[in-house]
């Protein structure tokens, strides 16, 4: 089928190769800064991507080791005696540790005397 197209060549910006190249050059020149910024970002992202996997793997290993250690500590020290021993080991007065173990609150006088004696 043929039809009568309108000849828009007078309006065609690509009919003159040289002029069209100027147009393209003008656009790409104006875009140079944005393109450079994108290259820089891509480079940074690329560097991060290079380090990301080993870093993630190391973090995962550290996490697993920490969880395992915590679990072992909790399993190895479930009784109150161990808790008090630990309290004494870090400098908590033995009388206070005893109060913790006995669940009986000290009187103000006992508390005062204990703290004074320390």
Using CB under 8 A as the criterion, which residues of the chain lie in contact with other proteins when the complex forms? 1-8, 10-14, 16, 18-20, 23-24, 26-28, 30-32, 34-42
User: Rounded to an integer, what distance in angstroms lies between the CA atom of residue 59 and that of residue 40?
Assistant: 27
Q: How buried is 93 (Cβ within 10 angstroms: 0-12 exposed, 13-18 middle, 19+ buried)?
A: middle
23 or 65: whose CB is closer to other proteins?
Answer: 23
Q: How far is the CB of 46 from other proteins (least distance, A)?
A: 9
CB of 47 to other proteins, least distance (A): 14
Question: Taking the C-alpha atoms of 56, 58, 62 and 63 in order, what is their torsion angle to the nearest 10 degrees?
Answer: 20
By beta-carbon proximity to other proteins, the closer residue of 35 and 57 is: 35
Work out how close the CB of 13 gets to other proteins at its nearest, in angstroms, rounded to a whole number.
Answer: 5
Q: How many Å apart are CA 89 and CA 77, to the nearest integer?
A: 14
The least CB distance from residue 50 to other proteins, in Å, is: 15
Residue 85 backbone dihedrals phi, psi, to 5 degrees: -55, -40
Of 10 and 89, the one with the shorter C-beta distance to other proteins is: 10
């Amino acid at each position: 089928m043929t039809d009568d197209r309108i000849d828009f060549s007078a309006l065609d910006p690509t009919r003159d190769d040289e002029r069209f190249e100027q147009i393209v050059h003008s656009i790409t020149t104006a875009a140079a800064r944005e393109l450079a910024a994108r290259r820089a970002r891509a480079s940074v992202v690329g560097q991060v991507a290079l380090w990301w996997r080993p870093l993630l793997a190391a973090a995962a290993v550290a996490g697993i080791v920490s969880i395992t250690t915590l679990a072992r500590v909790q399993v190895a020290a479930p009784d109150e005696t161990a808790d008090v021993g630990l309290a004494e080991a870090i400098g908590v007065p033995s009388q206070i540790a005893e109060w913790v173990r006995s669940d009986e609150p000290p009187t103000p006088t006992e508390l005062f005397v204990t703290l004074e004696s320390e």
